[in-house]
């Protein structure tokens, strides 16, 4: 389902960032709501004034409260799959910052021109990782998903929804959701690098199931990938709790849009907090004498012109050390006024989320760098079991491990096959075990040889996870084997896409192919046929073709077809091709640097408004095989099929050649020889009596000059 992006506003137009500036995406994403819902400016303005007038009292106990936290890690199998220890370091940082325990708080200035040290605030908030999930099951407060597409240029539609490739939010009245991704998209096109963004808590300013923080993995904590140890997460959580940027409103504490004009009143403009002095715009410096606004707003806390408070966590300064007492008051009003936040900090919710439960072993779990590799490759495993693990034993079927007891292990697989992985852990008292059956698929290298003529006639289903693999980003409709409606033969592959509108990607990926013996001077030919019609005239669905020279570790784009180029025709119904719909595509840019023994091909379909696409007749061969490619035509026919006794094989032979026609079973074992000898040019008809065959599925193989065409046969 496509979600309309509805997010928080700020009260000024967002600043224009230089291309190399790192910034928070809060303003950028919230600009859209100001244009779409101007009444919300009035609401928020008046709401902040009521807060400052004391009209919304603090009714909850102001003792330190607990906020349960869950991290949703959307990763690519590499560095973005940050360790649990890195997440713990982030928890330590935000707890220090929100409880005024951060050692660098002593750096807050306390001079006549910058009298800020006495206003540093202990926010009285403790963050704890959840130990019970929304269903009451054991958790360590972290869930993970391998989703390379969703973790790159992430936004709300991808990171925050499982059907977009990400992970769904846990209820916002019970958990603070933090989504960890690789990179974040720039919605406004203003450039720069977005480090994180958050949603405001106020009514009407966002979907309840999207409340929380999205942050880059290299800004989470102070170890691992986040060695900079900056305060992005603290800053974004401040937005979630209701705080604006300190530079909001510029020097005159103004509102940039009618009906409000420049007020120069800290209770009715800017960030609406009077102990955070006005700042002309976002600043990325720590100049001790910086004073960008030489004036004193009405109702100003200080009563005199003071320097910029660059130490504030809600600034853009690299010297962030503090929240102010005024900001603390704002957050605690929200704890009292917003019902979901009242429940979030309640003692009952602490019990429901298990944050105070002791650390006892309750779950064996692990993650890996991948699940499909080529023979000779390695998979890195990491123990994610919880809690209090004191020992472990790994069992890797088919693999050679660097260790069987360490928390992180690299395993090499030299033989093609599908293998289980087992992890048993102990805390010295009890044991937990997890076995993932057929977890790792190891593909044969060298791969299959040329030529490749794929008509999908030999499969009982797609994916078969032997020759063809599918990656289904949203785990919804995807590539599947389709009977009939093909370009030739009885089968093709269908991208079952009618009414799919969430922008997700589906991949159809080949087994490894051996091109290592092809001379570098010889051209490679890849072509295929597809059939497709758009659902509406505005559709911009896309078919891309990639190749990989390292068994699928990395991919390079070789062909992209979208919009009207994919099809100029449309139909509002679920599309089914007819004769004449099929389009031939040639991919002529596979260079000799890709003549390796483990080449893989990937077809990627990106949906938009949703109609079906069909794929058939995939060919890959070198230029010297072009003539051989013509020897076995694509109109081989076997009938009747299913067969009970006599079957007829027909095919066109272009030039006289030797042919061998055999039957094999589903394991590839020889069953019978149907014909062996020369066939003259023209239409050839061969009859075969199948009565002696047991009922089952067989494959008819027609071979000539090194080329093979295979068709599936069902014996009744």
**Mean per-residue pLDDT, 608-637:** 77
Distance CA 469, CA 462 (A): 8
pLDDT band of residue 13 (cuts 50, 70, 90) is very low
DSSP state at residue 56 = S
Q: Tell me phi and psi for residue 14, to 5 degrees.
A: -70, 150
Terminus-to-terminus CA distance in the chain, angstroms? 44
The residue among 378 and 284 whose pLDDT is bigger is 378
Examine residue 228 and state whether it is found in any structural domain, yes or no.
Answer: yes
Q: If you average pLDDT over residues 363-372, what whole number do you get?
A: 92
User: Which of 323, 352, 381 lies at the terminal end of a domain, its last residue?
Assistant: 352
In this structure, the answer to whether residues 271 and 380 fall within a common structural domain is no
Share above pLDDT 70 across residues of the chain, in percent, rounded to a whole number: 91
Residue 688 CB partners (closer than 8 Å, separation 6+): 646, 647, 648, 649, 674
Q: How far apart are CA 89 and CA 97, in angstroms?
A: 12
Residues of the chain above pLDDT 90, percent: 64
Residue range 652-664: mean pLDDT, rounded: 80
Same domain for 703 and 614 = no
Of 84-98, 180-194, 392-406, 663-677, the one with minimum mean pLDDT is 180-194
DSSP 107: G
Assess whether pLDDT exceeds 90 at residue 280.
no
Is residue 255's pLDDT more than 50?
Answer: no
User: Taking 90 as the threshold, does the pLDDT of residue 469 lie above it?
Assistant: yes
Does the structure show a pLDDT above 90 at 258? no
Is residue 167 very low, low, confident or very high in pLDDT (cuts 50, 70, 90)? very high
The secondary structure of 114-158 as a DSSP string is -B-GGGB----EEEEE-SB-TTS-B--SEEEEE-HHHHSSB-HHH
Encode 205-240: b = buried (16+ Cβ within 10 Å), e = exposed.
bbbebbbbbbbbbbbbbebbbbeeebbbbbbbbbbb
Counts of helices then strands in the chain (DSSP H, E): 11, 33
The reported pLDDT for the residue numbered 626 is: 64
Domain stop point among 426, 443, 460: 443
Domain of residue 160, CATH code: 3.40.390.10
Q: What's the confidence (pLDDT) of residue 227? A: 86
Q: How far is CA 396 from the centre of its chain?
A: 28
Indicate if 45 and 172 belong to the same structural domain: yes
On whether the CB atoms of residues 411 and 399 are closer than 8 A, the answer is yes
Confidence of residue 229 (pLDDT cuts 50, 70, 90): confident
Helix/strand/coil for 51: helix
A 10 A CB-CB count for 296 gives 16
257 with 35: CB under 8 angstroms?
no
Q: How many domains does the chain have?
A: 4
Please state, in angstroms and rounded to a whole number, the distance separating the CA atoms of residues 413 and 399: 5
Stretch 584-611: mean pLDDT, rounded? 94
- What is the C-alpha separation between 268 and 254, in angstroms, rounded? 8
pLDDT score of 21 = 65
Model pLDDT, residue 19: 40
From CA 657, how far away is CA 678, in angstroms rounded?
5
Asked if residue 240 has pLDDT above 80, the reply is yes
Q: Are residues 175 and 278 in the same domain?
A: yes
What average pLDDT does this structure show over 617-641? Answer: 72
| DSSP 8-state class, residue 701 | E
For residue 696, is pLDDT > 80? yes
Q: What is the pLDDT of residues 479-537, one digit of tens each?
A: 999 998 998 778 999 999 998 887 888 999 999 999 999 999 999 999 999 999 999 99
Does residue 410 share a domain with residue 268? no
Overall average pLDDT of the 661-685 stretch: 82
Decide which of 322, 352, 382 is a domain's last residue. 352
pLDDT recorded at residue 3: 39
Q: Is residue 557 a part of any domain in this protein?
A: yes
pLDDT at 707: 66
In a domain, 12, yes or no: no
**Of 207 and 704, which is predicted with more confidence?**
207
Q: Is residue 346 in a domain?
A: yes
**pLDDT of res. 210:** 95
Has residue 160 got a pLDDT over 60? yes
Average pLDDT over residues 3-23: 42
Whether residues 44 and 142 share a domain: the answer is: yes
Question: What CATH number is attached to the domain comprising 708?
Answer: 2.60.40.2950
4 assigned to some structural domain: no
At 38 the pLDDT is 81
Strands 542-548 vs 613-622: parallel, antiparallel or unpaired? unpaired
What is the C-alpha separation between 45 and 694, in angstroms, rounded? 80
Two tokens, residue 635: 């109109």
Helix runs in 11-121, H state only:
26-36, 39-52, 84-98
CA–CA dist 613, 558 (Å, integer): 19
Q: Please give the residue that has the higher pLDDT: either 35 or 57.
A: 57
What was the pLDDT predicted at 629? Answer: 46
Model confidence band, residue 458 (pLDDT cutoffs 50, 70, 90): confident
Catalytic residue, candidates 28, 149, 210, 236: 236
Residues 111 and 237 in one domain: yes
- Per the prediction, the chain carries an average pLDDT of 88
Angle at 350 (CA atoms; ends 344, 352), nearest 5 degrees:
95
Is residue 263 predicted with pLDDT exceeding 60?
no
Asked if 47 and 244 touch (Cβ cutoff 8 Å), the reply is no
Question: Do the beta carbons of residue 712 and residue 457 sit within 8 Å?
Answer: yes
Query: Residue 253: its pLDDT value, please?
Result: 54
Instruction: Return the pLDDT at 623.
Output: 83
In a domain, 382, yes or no: yes
In this prediction, residue 267 carries a pLDDT of 87
Q: Is 541 a catalytic residue?
A: no
Residue 604: what pLDDT? 97
Residue 258 lies in a domain: yes
CB atoms within 10 A of CB 258: 8
Do residues 279 and 188 both lie within one domain?
yes
**C-alpha torsion 414→415→416→418, nearest 10:** -100
- Whether 650 maps to a domain, the answer reads yes
Q: Are residues 535 and 427 in the same domain?
A: no
pLDDT tens figures, 540-563: 999 999 999 999 999 999 999 999
If one compares 129 and 662, the residue with the highest pLDDT of the two is: 129
CA–CA separation, 197 and 194 (whole Å): 8
Question: In which band, very low, low, confident or very high, does the pLDDT at 370 lie, cut at 50, 70 and 90?
Answer: confident
- pLDDT for residue 16 is more than 60: no
Closest CA to 322 of 564, 600, 573, 117: 117
> Is 286 found in the same domain as 185?
yes
592 three-class SS: helix
Q: Are the beta carbons of 604 and 516 closer than 8 angstroms? A: no
**Per-residue model confidence (pLDDT) at position 409:** 97
Q: Looking at residue 516, which CATH number applies to its domain?
A: 2.60.120.260
Choose the most confident range, by mean pLDDT, from 482-491, 607-616, 658-667.
607-616
Main-chain dihedrals φ then ψ at residue 529, nearest 5 degrees: -125, 140
Q: Is the pLDDT of residue 250 over 60?
A: yes
Q: 706 and 582 in one domain?
A: no
Residues 540 and 620 in one domain: yes
Give me the domain span that covers residue 566: 452-629
Flag whether pLDDT at 340 surpasses 80.
Answer: yes
Residue-wise DSSP of 183-252: -B--SS---SEEEEEE---STTSS-GGG-SEEEEGGGSSSSTT-TT--SHHHHHHHHHTTPPPTTTTTTT
Model confidence at 132, in pLDDT bands (50, 70, 90)?
very high
CATH of the domain at 380: 2.60.40.10
Sign of CA dihedral 97, 101, 103, 109: positive
């Amino acid at each position: 389902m496509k979600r309309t992006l509805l997010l928080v506003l700020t009260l000024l137009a967002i600043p224009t960032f230089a291309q190399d500036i790192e910034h928070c995406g809060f303003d950028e994403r919230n600009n859209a709501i100001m244009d779409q819902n101007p009444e919300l400016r009035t609401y928020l303005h008046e709401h902040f004034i009521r807060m400052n007038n004391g009209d919304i009292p603090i009714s909850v106990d102001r003792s330190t409260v607990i906020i349960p936290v869950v991290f949703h890690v959307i990763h690519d199998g590499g560095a973005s799959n940050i360790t649990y220890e890195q997440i713990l370091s982030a928890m330590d940082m935000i707890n220090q910052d929100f409880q005024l325990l951060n050692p660098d708080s002593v750096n807050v200035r306390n001079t006549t021109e910058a009298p800020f040290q006495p206003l540093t605030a202990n926010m009285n908030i403790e963050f704890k990782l959840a130990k019970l999930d929304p269903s009451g099951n054991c958790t360590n407060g972290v869930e993970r998903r391998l989703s390379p597409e969703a973790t790159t240029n992430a936004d709300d539609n991808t990171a925050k929804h499982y059907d977009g490739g990400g992970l769904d939010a846990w209820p916002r009245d019970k958990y603070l959701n933090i989504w960890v991704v690789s990179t974040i998209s720039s919605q406004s096109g203003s450039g720069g690098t977005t480090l994180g963004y958050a949603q405001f808590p106020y009514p009407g300013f966002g979907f309840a199931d999207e409340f929380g923080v999205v942050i880059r993995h290299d800004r989470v904590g102070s170890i691992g990938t986040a060695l900079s140890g900056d305060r992005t997460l603290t800053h974004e959580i401040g937005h979630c709790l209701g705080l604006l940027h300190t530079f909001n409103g510029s020097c005159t504490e103004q509102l940039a849009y009618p009906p409000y004009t420049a007020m120069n009143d800290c209770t009715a403009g800017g960030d609406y907090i009077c102990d955070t002095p006005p700042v002309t715009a976002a600043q990325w410096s720590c100049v001790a004498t910086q004073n960008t606004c030489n004036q004193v707003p009405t109702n100003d806390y200080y009563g005199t012109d003071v320097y910029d408070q660059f130490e504030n966590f809600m600034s853009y300064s690299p010297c962030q050390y503090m929240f102010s007492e005024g900001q603390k008051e704002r957050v605690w009003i929200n704890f009292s006024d917003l019902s979901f936040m009242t429940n979030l900090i309640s003692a009952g919710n602490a019990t429901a989320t298990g944050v105070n439960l002791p650390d006892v072993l309750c779950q064996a779990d692990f993650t890996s760098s991948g699940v499909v590799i080529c023979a000779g490759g390695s998979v890195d495993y990491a123990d994610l079991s919880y809690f209090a693990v004191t020992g472990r034993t790994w069992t890797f079927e088919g693999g050679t491990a660097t260790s069987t007891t360490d928390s992180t292990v690299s395993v090499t697989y030299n033989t093609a096959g599908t293998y289980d992985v087992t992890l048993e852990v102990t805390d010295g008292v009890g044991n937990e075990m997890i076995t993932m059956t057929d977890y790792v698929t190891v593909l044969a290298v060298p791969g299959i040889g040329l030529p490749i003529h794929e008509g999908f006639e030999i499969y009982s289903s797609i994916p078969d996870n032997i020759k063809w693999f599918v990656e289904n980003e949203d785990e919804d409709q995807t590539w599947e084997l389709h009977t009939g409606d093909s370009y030739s033969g009885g089968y093709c592959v269908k991208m079952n896409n009618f009414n799919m509108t969430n922008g997700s990607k589906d991949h159809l990926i080949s087994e490894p192919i051996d091109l290592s013996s092809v001379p570098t001077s010889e051209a490679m030919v890849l072509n295929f046929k597809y059939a497709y019609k758009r659902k509406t005239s505005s559709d911009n669905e896309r078919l891309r073709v990639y190749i990989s020279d390292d068994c699928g570790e990395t991919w390079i784009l070789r062909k992209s077809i979208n919009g009207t180029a994919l099809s100029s025709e449309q139909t509002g119904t679920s599309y089914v091709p007819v004769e004449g719909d099929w389009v031939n595509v040639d991919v002529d840019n596979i260079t000799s640097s890709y003549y390796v023994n483990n080449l893989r091909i990937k077809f990627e379909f990106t949906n938009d408004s949703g109609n079906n696409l069909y794929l058939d007749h995939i060919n890959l061969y070198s230029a010297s095989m072009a003539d051989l490619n013509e020897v076995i035509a694509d109109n081989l026919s076997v009938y009747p099929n299913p067969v009970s006794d006599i079957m007829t094989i027909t095919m066109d032979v272009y030039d006289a050649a030797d042919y061998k026609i055999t039957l094999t079973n589903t394991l590839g074992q020889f069953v019978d020889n149907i014909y062996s000898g020369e066939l003259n040019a023209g239409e050839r008809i061969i009859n075969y009596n199948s009565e002696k065959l047991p009922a089952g599925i067989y494959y008819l193989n027609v071979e000539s000059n090194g080329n093979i065409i295979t068709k599936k046969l069902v014996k009744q």
